[in-house]
Chains A and B, each alone.
Chain A
Amino acid sequence: METVIEIRGLTKTYGTVKALDGLTLSIPRGGVYGILGPNGAGKSTLFRTLLGLIRPTEGEATVMGGRIGDPAATRRMGSMIETPRFPPFMTARQVLVWLGHAHGGVASSDIEAWLKRVGLTEAADRRVRGFSVGMLQRLGVAAALMTKPDLVILDEPTSGMDPPGIQEMRALIRSLADDDGVTVILASHQLQEVERVCDRVAIFNKGKVITEGRVSDLTASGERLRLSVTPLAKAMAVLGEKAALDGDALVAAVPRAEAPAAIRALVEAGVDIEEARWIGADLEDVFMTETGWTGVQGTPAKGTDHAG
């Protein structure tokens, strides 16, 4: 598998806090790669490190074949880290011209095309100090993409956008990967967005990757069996650690292949089974399970029901 980013044992500490803790990760070329994690998981720190904005405390990484901070490699990247900020006295068009100069020149036709693509043509000559967060996001995306990068890092690209803007952004991200062959790395708290757009994801927690893989594989592996049974306590005892209470039912983390045996064991123990169905995991379930987040008042992570 050809990779665009190779990270080995990357650590970044701020005083006693480890923002990245021996992180190891390979990101393949092509497609959209999602990075998920709760606040403080180390996503933004990783992006800043890959862009050469901050120096790792330990470890190493290569980006597009070059070491961290090598301008020859980072010039082939586009990025938007959190809500972008720009010199307030410049207009949107001037911002793109300025960044174009910094990159060795970008044709004015490309700048106009990107202003149009992100829906800022009418606001192109307005000073950015009056822009909303959503408009700044759009301008940030244009700034990241106008240089035709091979790799794009987008950190929360839809934050502050209205619903039509979010849909446009999703379509844009997919088209970058599918039509332009750009590798997109996307961080977002919108798990549905990530599930819809990304091919692979890595879930971060406390500066480490805790799981990584294709979205379809991760969600398939999170399927659970929801059982309405009587008596509940006996069923819990039979299934042991695999079972958790979900209201007046229980949810069993058993693979499909082991489900018949589990049901047989319940029946043999004298448990009445009123209903059994598969609840599939969506990315939110996987995220909550992997990060140990149990939701409000300690209830188990919710799943998306589907008959099974």
Chain B
Amino acid sequence: MLVDALKSEAYRVSRNRTAIFCSVVLTPLLFVFGGLAYLLMTKAKGDALAAKANLPPEMGNQPVNLAEAFGFAAGNGANGVLLVFMLLAAAAVYAGDYRWETWRLISARNARPWLILGKIGVMKVLAMIAMLAMLIASFLFFISQAVVAGRPMSFDLSDFNLVEFLLTWLLSYIRIVQYGLIALLAAVVSRSLLAALFVPWALGFAQGLLGGPLLPIIGWAPTDWASQLLLPGLAYDTLKAAVAGDTPAPDGLVVKAITSLVLWCVVPVAASIAWFQRQDLSKE
């Protein structure tokens, strides 16, 4: 009964203010206030430079197009800060029953695969809410940009590509969910909330290093199967670039990237359910 698992998990996480704040509220807040601070600092420097260069005032008066917030939010939905803070909610959802020893209360009431899938379902909803919160934060950032710079605002959808926006949004969403699924596997295997938090963080950090400065050192090309399969973040960036169509992707690269993201989603779920099915859910 997946519905029961979803309802109970959703109810519990809705009462967990820390998890909700960290996953849904904190990153957009940081983004808005960090962005505002950045705008104020750059405005001070920009004003000084403009005065020195004696630029005509109309040069800085182009309207800020608020519609660009859509593309900005979709493209930056799976930013590193959001991924890290989402882990706090993922750890609470996926490892909470080990931490609080509450499996004994709920595992007798439902089939084990439904319990895991219920948790994943709730994390998917949280990921979507977090992205919507980032969209709102992006609008606030663009409005702040106009207000701080004293520029007019517009809402011009002439350059807006709905398909590109939806595909980018979907990719960012999948990337957030996929990153959380590593927390699921770590939680089930280790029965530890801390492992659910730090294993994905450490893995993400290592993958970031490998995908960035280390990749040329070890002699892998970003287009290799190995690079794409081992680095879901690289696969995500590959697919985002392909959707944007900035540069044509080499033959087969998109397939490699899609395969990578699918495997990084399916394998942790399948492994977690298989492990969980045979697991003793009691401390002895």
Do A88 and B100 have beta carbons less than 8 Å apart?
A: yes
Q: Which residues of B98-140 are within 8 A (CB) of A?
A: 100-111
> CB of A243 within 8 A of chain B?
no
Separation of A299 and B26 alpha carbons in the complex (Å): 67
For chain B, which range describes its interface: under 10, 10 to 19, 20 to 34, or 35 or more residues?
Answer: 20 to 34
Q: What's the A-B contact tally at a CB cutoff of 8 Å?
A: 89
CB-CB under 8 A from B280, the residues of chain A are 48, 53-55
Residue of B nearest to A81 (CB): B104
Report chain B residues within 8 Å CB of A48.
Answer: 104, 280, 282
Whether B15 lies near A89 (C-beta < 8 A) is yes
Q: Which residues of A contact B281 (CB under 8 A)?
A: 53-54
Question: Which residues 229-284 of B have a CB within 8 angstroms of A?
Answer: 278, 280-282, 284
By a CB distance below 8 angstroms, the chain B residues around A86 are 100, 102, 105
> What total of chain A residues lie within 8 Å of the partner, measured CB to CB?
32
- Among B7, B18, B96, B104, the most chain A Cβ lie within 10 Å of the Cβ of B104
* Chain B, residue nearest A51 (CB): B108
Residue of A nearest to B1 (CB): A104
- Structural contact, B108 and A19, CB atoms closer than 8 A: no
Contact partner of B8 (CB less than 8 A), chosen from A45, A51, A99, is A99
**Quick one: which of A79, A84, A94, A103 has the most chain B CB within 10 A?**
A103
User: CA of A105 to CA of B107 in the docked complex: distance in angstroms?
Assistant: 16
Give chain B nearest CB distance to A234 CB in angstroms: 52
Query: Would you give the 0/1 interface string for A75-103, flagging 1 where the beta carbon is closer than 8 Å to chain B?
Result: 10101010011111110001001110111
A184 within 8 A of B: no
Give bound CA distance, A52 to B277, whole Å.
11
Question: What 0/1 readout, one digit per residue, does chain A (52-79) give for beta carbons within 8 Å of chain B?
Answer: 1111000000000000000100110101
List chain B positions with a Cβ less than 8 A from chain A.
1, 4-5, 7-8, 11-12, 15-18, 96, 100-111, 278, 280-282, 284
Between A and B, 30 residue pairs with Cβ closer than 8 Å are A48-B280, A51-B107, A51-B108, A53-B108, A53-B282, A54-B280, A54-B282, A55-B280, A71-B110, A71-B111, A75-B109, A81-B282, A84-B105, A86-B105, A87-B15, A87-B16, A87-B102, A89-B16, A89-B17, A90-B12, A98-B12, A99-B106, A101-B4, A102-B5, A102-B106, A102-B109, A102-B110, A103-B4, A104-B1, A143-B105
